[in-house]
Structure 1
Amino acid sequence: MMSNKMKLTVGVGIVLVSLFAFAISISAHGYVNEPKSRALLCAEGANYSCGSVIYEPQSLEAPGNFPEGGPADGRIASADIFHELDEQTSDRWAKVPITSGPFTFEWSLTAAHATDKWDYYITKENWNPNEPLKRSDFEKFCTVDDNGERPPFTVNHDCDIPERTGYHVILAYWEVADTANAFYNVIDVNFDGDYVEPGNPGDPEEPNPGEPPVWKENQVYLGGDRVTYDGSVYEAKWWTRNEIPGEANVWEFIRNVATSNQENSQSSFDSPLVFFNF
């Protein structure tokens, strides 16, 4: 029979192996930096009003098996996480110059992962740039199979980009091999033209000028992020998702929106202090 000491050793070993496997499964992240993805341009400040993706452009992870699976139409750009990325108009996002023909895409991986394949899609010639991105907008033009191999931290793929003119969106898709997930990067490109600055996105959900945006379900928030919910302003203490302000301990009540204008009309010394979590 196994002694208690042996049982403890085996149990600890199982826990450590499980934790190691879990750490590997959640550590795979990456983004396209050539041409620069929508999320990367957010992190670099070229795109604005992007939400929390500015802190982690490598984390656009969602269920794989695209296009049969994956995020719903209208949520593809955000991987159903950073929903600001799903906003879609002809001038919402910065556009990087590109030409049709041979092109080398480059990914930067913050953590490599055993990989099934890499797919590249581009919007069809008759797509509508003023509607949310959907599956039927895209056609695949390049596939690279990795057959379960673990890639290096810099990955290059040689593809032939189809003929297009003007503004289009490229979807770069990384399907990992040992989980059911994949990574989604959209790239806003301007064919045979120059770099194009983004337009003014605005924020129709902002309750009052100067107030934080409305809390969104499934949105990732980091420590220090502020939101408006049910007439009040809350600040996240740490990373959170789907935890409702006013109900979850991760959110700290700051003030009521209804009284904020009155407070702001008083001396600036009465303004609430902003605390940052590091």
Structure 2
Amino acid sequence: MNWKKKVMKVVPLAVCGIVGSLLFTSGASAHGYIDNGRSSLCKQGLNTGCGPIQYEPQSVEGPGNFPQLGPSDGQIAGAGRYPNLDVQTATRWHKVNLTGGTNTFSWTFTAPHRTKEWKYYITKKGWNPNQPLTRSNLEFISRVDGGDKQPPFKVAHAINLPTDRTGYHIVLGVWEIADTGMAFYQAVDVNLGNNPLVGNTQPSSSLANLLSMKQFTQ
């Protein structure tokens, strides 16, 4: 009789542990990343020494409402959670070749959140690629309204990149969540060319002929 009472006390604790684990897993799965962004290329092995993000490129999550809030300067690429992604030099990261004008940025979501918006920024002319990424390095280029809805598992945005700069730049995509106050940060390292004969291996993109970033390699 005493043995049965002890069993009954143990079972609820085990059940609570299982439920807690399931709740944690569910929350952790609702993430997303830009195809061929810095964290995605860590998973592909083109970027190395990335730390744990190589196994979950969709998890670069930090406080939202960027740039008023969000990760501290110098921790933007890693969202304040993945310091390996914040290491910044001119040669540290694999780059994708893009041209000024309209380019397609494709997101992959593992479990979409209701979305407030997506915002895009690019490093300014004359930025120093050997210094940590800060807000003062960035300028806003585009916003896509999320409509407070869950997006599909694949979303593509046509984003117009400046035509007044060339060479290594970072495009920052920020996925602002509507129902958590959090956001996902995606740094995309690009070799930006505005002369079709210099620094590009693909034809320039246009509204009539959008090319996926997957077609561009260093």
Quickly name the TM-score band, shorter chain normalised. Answer: 0.7 to 0.9
Q: Give, in angstroms, the shift of residue 103 of structure 1.
A: 1.3
For residues 94-173 of structure 1, the aligned pairs below 5 Å read 94-163=94-163, 164-173=165-174
Aligned-pair identity in percent equals: 50
Distance 2:168 2:176 in 1: 26
The amino acid that maps onto 1:162 is P
Distance 1:92 1:20, change over 3 A: closer
Partner of 1:45: 45
Distance 1:152 1:125, change over 3 A: same
Contact in 2 for aligned 1:114/1:150 (Cα 8 Å)? yes
Q: Give, in angstroms, the shift of residue 22 of structure 1.
A: 7.2
Distance 1:169 1:62, change over 3 A: same
Relative contact order, CA 8 A, sep 6+: which one is greater?
2
Please identify which structure carries the higher helix content: 2
Distance 2:73 2:58 in 1: 21
Structure 2 residue matching 1:129: 3-state secondary structure:
coil
Q: Give, in angstroms, the shift of residue 104 of structure 1.
A: 1.5
Q: Give, in angstroms, the shift of residue 26 of structure 1.
A: 3.9
Which of 30, 34, 37 aligns to 1:28? It is: 30
Structure 2 residue matching 1:43: 3-state secondary structure:
helix
Distance 2:97 2:104 in 1: 14
Q: Give, in angstroms, the shift of residue 21 of structure 1.
A: 8.3
Could you tell me which runs of 5 or more consecutive residues in structure 2 were left unpaired when the two chains were aligned: 1-19, 194-198, 201-216
Contact in 2 for aligned 1:25/1:179 (Cα 8 Å)? no
The amino acid that maps onto 1:190 is N
The amino acid that maps onto 1:176 is I
Distance 1:27 1:180 in 2: 16
Q: Count the aligned residue pairs.
A: 177
Structure 1 residue matching 2:103: 3-state secondary structure:
strand
Partner of 1:189: 190
Q: Give, in angstroms, the shift of residue 49 of structure 1.
A: 0.9
Distance 1:23 1:178 in 2: 18
Could you tell me which runs of 5 or more consecutive residues in structure 1 were left unpaired when the two chains were aligned: 1-17, 197-278
Contact in 2 for aligned 1:88/1:132 (Cα 8 Å)? yes
* TM-score normalized by the length of structure 1: 0.61
* TM-score normalized by the length of structure 2: 0.77
Partner of 1:240: none
Structure 2 residue matching 1:94: 3-state secondary structure:
coil
Distance 1:23 1:51, change over 3 A: closer
Distance 2:66 2:43 in 1: 25
Q: Give, in angstroms, the shift of residue 66 of structure 1.
A: 0.2
Asked which structure has the greater CA Rg, the reply is 1
Distance 1:123 1:156 in 2: 21
Cα root mean square deviation, aligned: 1.8
Distance 1:78 1:139 in 2: 19
